[in-house]
Amino acid sequence: METKDAIDCLQSLAQETRLAVFRALVRAGHRGLAAGDLSAQLAVPPPTLTFHLKTLAASGIIQRRREGRQQWYSVSFEQVRALMDFLMEDCCQGSLEHEGACATEMACCATVAPRRMRVLFLCTGNSCRSQMAEGWARALKGDCLEVWSAGIKAHGMNPYAVCVMAEAGVDLSAHTSKTLDDLDSVVFDHVVTVCSNAHETCPVFPGAAKVTHTGFDDPPALAADLEDEEAKLAIYRRVRDEIRDYIKTLPEALED
């Protein structure tokens, strides 16, 4: 990080409301908060909040994305780590005279956790398979993966997918169906296509994003002609468990 960038970050935080916004977003984790929820939580009027969010975003300390009609904000943990690295670059100046004071009393030399791998699960409508993958990845691999899901189009959440994931202890009820345009501010490390259509129409992503195809059966298509609800659910449960088993292989399977 350059000195000017560090100053911009620190200046953006040097105001009571903006600091409160930043801390609320830190508590919210990598998913962040919708602007309306953030306004209600902090009791800050939307116009005032918008001003402060723009200031924070301009410094790069937080990032914005669109999900449907809502604007979401989250902390750019990569930028925070870069700022901390800049501030602590000359810690102890390599001197041994402190006799371990930094490591024990001040703890200023603590190791910063590495950035989590950013993974997008992509399918046709972001209603079923990619949503399951996102849910499982958040539940099982949240310590090492930062995950999103999207579709070539947004078809809305599949209620059967929400149901069978809830049976397994993963709540998708707050998820929304998104397209790539809703995530245009996110730079991904890996894109995993979970259906053939998404793989065949997968766009070119900026940066060094690696695209991997891992296809799964389409539960809505397989269950379309079935009348028995249990028979339908059995299909969704099978695909749910297959996706879970795949997610358990990450991130190693993506690094091969």
31 part of a folded domain: yes
Which pLDDT tens digit goes with each residue over 149-178?
Answer: 999 899 999 999 999 999 999 999 889 999
Which pLDDT tens digit goes with each residue over 103-129?
Answer: 444 444 444 456 789 999 999 999 999
Q: What is the CATH number of the domain that holds 210?
A: 3.40.50.2300
> How does DSSP classify residue 174?
T
* CB within 8 Å of 50: residues ≥ 6 apart: 35
| Domain limits for position 240 | 117-255
Q: Are 204 and 131 in contact (CB under 8 A)?
A: no
181 and 250 co-located in one domain: yes
Both tokens assigned to 113: 């956790």
Question: Which position among 92, 102, 163, 202 bears the catalytic label?
Answer: 202
Q: Are 133 and 145 in contact (CB under 8 A)?
A: no
Longest dimension (CA), the chain: 77
96 part of a folded domain: no
195 is known as an active-site residue: yes
110 part of a folded domain: no
Q: What's the confidence (pLDDT) of residue 207?
A: 61
132 and 41 co-located in one domain: no
E strand or H helix that includes residue 81: helix 77-87
Q: What's the confidence (pLDDT) of residue 36?
A: 87
Q: What is the mean pLDDT of residues 36-43?
A: 87
53 part of a folded domain: yes
222 and 171 co-located in one domain: yes
Residue bearing the bigger pLDDT, 69 or 191: 191
148 part of a folded domain: yes
28 and 121 co-located in one domain: no
Question: Could you identify the residue written with the tokens 């849910």?
Answer: 135
163 is known as an active-site residue: no
91 part of a folded domain: no
130 and 225 co-located in one domain: yes
Determine how many CB atoms are found less than 10 A away from the CB of residue 13: 17
Q: What's the confidence (pLDDT) of residue 95?
A: 52
Q: What is the CATH number of the domain that holds 30?
A: 1.10.10.10
User: What is the identity of the amino acid at 17?
Assistant: T
E strand or H helix that includes residue 64: strand 62-67
154 and 234 co-located in one domain: yes
Last residue of a domain, one of 77, 104, 126: 77
Q: Are 74 and 27 in contact (CB under 8 A)?
A: no
E strand or H helix that includes residue 159: helix 159-167
Q: Are 103 and 109 in contact (CB under 8 A)?
A: yes
- What is the domain count for the chain? 2
Phi, psi of 141 (to 5 degrees): -130, 25
44 and 139 co-located in one domain: no
Beta-ladder partners of 67: 70
Last residue of a domain, one of 45, 60, 77: 77
Question: Which position among 123, 128, 144, 163 bears the catalytic label?
Answer: 123
* CB within 8 Å of 248: residues ≥ 6 apart: 140
71 and 121 co-located in one domain: no
